[in-house]
A and B are shown apart, each in its own frame.
Chain A
Amino acid sequence: MKKLVLRSIVVITGIVIGIVAGGYLTFHRYARDYHTVRALAWLGIFSAVSEGQYDENTSDAKQGLLYIVTYYSQGVESPKLDPIMKNMMRMNRGLAEARLSVLENESGNAGAAKSYLSEAQDDLKAVGWVDVSEANILQAVRRQPVRPCNNAPQSATKTSASAQQKPCG
């Protein structure tokens, strides 16, 4: 009986080691080959959440936007991304900075608002925006009304990324 138990323990130990090793190898290979896809998976989620927080003007909107600015900054500086992908990151960082500027302005921090707006203007100008005036940038980041799913506008040009902001069901 004791012998059988010991043998079972050895087999189970082997199974556990096998599961850990197999899992690690699979994850390692995936993380190596799909580095950008992994980053974009989380970036898309964080980006949608921070935009949602901004649109709803929640108390943690600023924190979320600061986090997303840091995340985009890492992307802009990454040597693994191609130039257009970096431009995409830079444009989104600029828009996040513009949103931060709006929040700081609403909190009465005119200095910080101006600083964020200036950074946003630099980023957006770098990605080819023609009009980087304050009015135009604020127009681009104006808050979108959050509506119940049944009343959501069925815009033909609505993108999948913007659709993630208001998940239905």
Chain B
Amino acid sequence: MKRALGTFALLFLGLTIGLPLGIYLVQRKFVDKEKAIGLMNEEGLVDEYAKKEFIYADAQTSREALTYAINIHMEMQGESTLRGWPEKSDLGWCFAELSLIEESAGNTTLAENYMSQAQQILKDLGSKDSSERHIREILHQKLVSAQPQSRALSK
């Protein structure tokens, strides 16, 4: 009986050492890395979707996609460990694109608000020219180069 208890105590000692070690190893070597990649990819995929919708889809779907992308970008600010300059820039361009959509829908106040947020983000990132004219020019070029049809100009 005493021997069995002694063996159990030693096994328990091993378990006590092994359990936190297992948690630490899996968390650090696998979970943290995969989670970081997953969050970064989530942000990237949603952003790419919104930007494609801006070019090719109708205004309402584009608005929903861009708003969703902005929310994801905002959430990732505190959560994603791999977040850097490209993701911050993507957020700025989402605001700029949403501004154009709201402007074409006649929501001028909202459009101005989004544009000023876009300008501020790009300015904070060290953009050489974060003026509204420059942002509009880049988005216009993007629409024209991706879609030569007349819809691009009218959007």
Contacts and interface: CB of A to CB of B under 8 A. Distances in A.
Contact of B44 (A14, A19, A161): A161
B106 interface: no
Interface in A1-31: 7, 10-27, 30
A163 to B, nearest CB: 6
Contacts of A127: 53, 57, 61
A18 B14 contact: yes
Interface stretch (A55-63, A106-114, A151-159): A151-159
Interface in B27-70: 27, 30-31, 34-35, 37-49, 51-53, 56-58, 60-62, 64-65, 68
A30 B23 contact: no
A50 B29 CA distance: 27
The size class of the interface chain A forms with chain B is: 35 or more
Contact of A21 (B18, B34, B138): B18
A45 B46 CA distance: 14
Interface in A99-158: 124, 127-131, 136, 139-140, 156-158
Contact of A10 (B7, B52, B146): B7
Given A21-B19, A159-B48, A160-B47, A13 B14 contact: yes
- B interface, over-half SS: helix
B89 interface: yes
A162 B48 contact: yes
Nearest to A31: B31
A25 to B, nearest CB: 7
A138 B138 CA distance: 23
Given A18-B16, A37-B39, A160-B87, A131 B21 contact: no
A87 to B, nearest CB: 7
B147 interface: yes
A156 B138 contact: yes
